[in-house]
Amino acid sequence: MAPTTADPGPSQLPLTERQEARRRRILAASTALACRGGFDAVQMREVAETSQVALGTLYRYFPSKIHLLVAVMRDQLGQLHEALRTRPPTAEDPGERVAETLLRAFRALRREPRLADAMVRALIFADRSVSAEVDTCSRLTTTIILDAMALADPPTGERLSAVRVIEHTWHAALVSWLAGRSSVDRVTADIRMACRLLELPELRQKAERPGMR
C-alpha cells in the first residue's frame, strides 16, 4: 500500500497538528485494546469508537488492522529509541551495548505480553500492501542497534551483515517466546550470543565515540 496522506511516508508532508492528535488517539486506543486482549481484541470499529473518530476516517489513516498494529509497533520502537537517547546503554563493548538494549526492550515486552503478541502477529501476517510500514519498523530497529553500538565511524559491510543476523535472531526469539517454545532465559542467551558477532576480531572497528568508555 502506498502511504496515505494521514499516515505519511518519508516522502510526504508532515501531518497537521489536528491530524497528528487524531493519529495519536488511534494508536493509544489500539495499544490499550491490545494490552487487554491481544490481537483479536483490536477491532477497527472498537478502535474508532474508543479514539472518537469515524470508522471511515480510521480506514483512511489505516486501511486494515494489520496496518494499524504495524503502526503501533513503529510507535513502540520510536518510544524505545527516545528512551535510549535519554538513558543510553553503558556496557563496555558494542556487542554488549546492543545486547543491553535489546534485553531492555524484551523486558518491556514481557510486561505487556498481549501487546507484544499482537504486534508480532501483525508483522507475520503483513503482506505486500504493508511492506512500506514493515520496512519502516525494520529501519528503525537497525537504527536502534547502530545507535547502541555507538561507533566512531560508519559500520562496515560486515558489521551491517552482523546487525541483520542480530535482527533476525531477535525476531525469531520473540516469536518462539510468544508461542511458548522458548523460555525467558533461552531468549536472553540467544540474544547475547547473536550480539557477540559484533566482537569477532574481523568485525572490529575503531573505538566507540569519545565518552563511551
Please, what's the b/e burial string for 126-155 (b: 16 or more CB within 10 A of its CB; e: otherwise)? Answer: beeebebbbebbeebbbebbbbbbbbeeeb
Domain boundaries, the chain: 65-203
Q: DSSP states of 9-66 as a string?
A: -TTSPPPPHHHHHHHHHHHHHHHHHHHHH-GGG--HHHHHHHHT--HHHHHHH-SSHH
Query: The whole model's pTM is what?
Result: 0.85
pLDDT tens digits for 103-162? 999 999 999 999 999 999 999 999 999 999 999 999 999 999 999 999 888 888 888 999
Q: What is the mean pLDDT of the chain?
A: 89
CATH number of 65-203: 3.40.50.720, 1.10.357.10, 3.40.720.10, 3.40.50.300?
1.10.357.10
> Residue 170 and residue 154: Cα distance in Å, rounded?
22
Rounded CA separation 142/121 (Å): 20
Set of cell numbers at residue 89: 546503554
Sign of CA dihedral 142, 148, 151, 153: positive
